[in-house]
Amino acid sequence: MQLRNKKELAAKVLGVGKGRIVFSAGNLAEIKEAITRQDILDLHKAGAITIKEIKGRKKIVKRKNRRRTGKIKKSINKSKQEYVIITRKLRTHLKHLKKTNMIGKEDYRNMRKMIRARKFKSKRHLKEALEEHGGK
């Protein structure tokens, strides 16, 4: 008597693996007749279908966290971060000015050196310096 499909249905309904489902030998005819989920649940309550206990080791030991590249948490140097942001912003602005021929090559080089030396606090500061210098 093939009851593989009944076993799969019972496993799905009862929420366990197929290997844990056990049919009692006396009630095989009733189990064969069962076609709905409710039939399976009723047979389980009656004791025709039983569930095996879980074998093996249940305790899960947490692995120690390895400290690798993704795990290292260092405090970021904020001043460097601020420097990078402002420098990129000012350099892009300068590049745009050079591309639109608002400043010459020489002014461009000098301004880049000044940006690197952190002479400007903001884009407005750079614009003011360019106006004084006679750029724009």
In a domain, residue 69? The reply is no
**Counting every residue, how long is the chain?**
136
Structural domain includes residue 72: no
- Structure token digits, residue 97: 């000015």
Asked, for residue 65, whether it belongs to a domain, the answer is: no
Let me know if residue 92 belongs to a domain.
Answer: yes
Mapping DSSP to helix (H, G, I), strand (E, B) and coil, where does residue 131 land? helix
Residues in CB range of 10: below 8 A, 6 or more apart: 21, 40, 44, 49
pLDDT digits (tens, 9 = 90+) for 92-123: 999 999 999 999 999 999 999 999 999 999 99
104: left (phi over 0), alpha (psi -120 to 50) or beta: beta
Domain CATH number, residue 94:
1.10.1200.60
What is the model's pLDDT at position 77? 83
What number of CA atoms fall less than 13 Å from residue 65's CA on the CB side? Answer: 6
pTM above 0.85, yes or no: no
Tell me, yes or no, whether 8 lies in a domain.
yes
User: By residue range, what is the domain housing residue 41?
Assistant: 4-51
Q: Packing angle between helix 105-116 and helix 123-133, nearest 10 degrees?
A: 140
Segments of the chain with pLDDT less than 50:
136
